[in-house]
Amino acid sequence: MLERLRGYATGDIDAENAAYRRPLLRDARRLARGAAGGCEVVLLGSVASGKYVDILQQACGELLRFPREFVGRGDMSRGGLMLRCAAAGRELTYVPLAGAERHGPRPPKLDAATRVRYVPPVVSSINVAPVAGPPASARATRRSLPKRAPTPRS
């Protein structure tokens, strides 16, 4: 598996490189064929470069969409925008890639006050609920568990 990953790192990502283009085109065509009525294929990467956009457009045609808000944004800005929208429950504006403006001025920086911060989950054996068992109302909760006796100090 590691050798396979290293092999990917040595490949030339260029639409003219058949070793890159053929598998991408093959899999994108498979994706487009599997898209049922009303389904869209949404590209959440950069739309500025043709190195994969042109291949995806060839395979997916009118099904291919992208978030209009991505125009002019770099990788980190697109990621930050997606996290903010997900946290706010707001969907991006998906537009057809065909004929769309893919280059534009850099939009204003994202507001640092709206940054989404990762808070790791608290893991405790007390909070673990059974996978299958009594209904939630019958399960023990933290509040209903008896308090532990204090441990003696030496």
Q: What mean pLDDT value characterizes the chain?
A: 82
Is the distance from CB of 41 to CB of 65 less than 8 angstroms? Answer: yes
Best-predicted range by mean pLDDT among 47-51, 63-67, 73-77?
63-67
Residue 135 is predicted with a pLDDT of 53
Residue 57 has pLDDT above 70, yes or no: yes
Mean pLDDT over residues 10-15, rounded? Answer: 84
Helix (H, G, I), strand (E, B) or coil at 56: helix
Report which secondary-structure segment, H or E, holds 54: helix 50-60
Q: Kindly state the average pLDDT of the residues 20-33.
A: 93
Query: Does 130 score more than 60 pLDDT?
Result: no
Percent of the chain at pLDDT exceeding 90: 38
CA angle 76, 66, 99 (to 5 degrees): 125
| Short-list 97, 62, 68, CA closest to 81 | 68
Segment among 30-34, 68-72, 121-125, 148-152 with least mean pLDDT: 148-152
Q: Kindly tell me if the per-residue pLDDT of 144 is higher than 80.
A: no
Cα separation values, 112 from 26, 44, 80, 131, Å: 41, 22, 10, 39
Numbers of helices and strands, H then E, in the chain: 4, 3
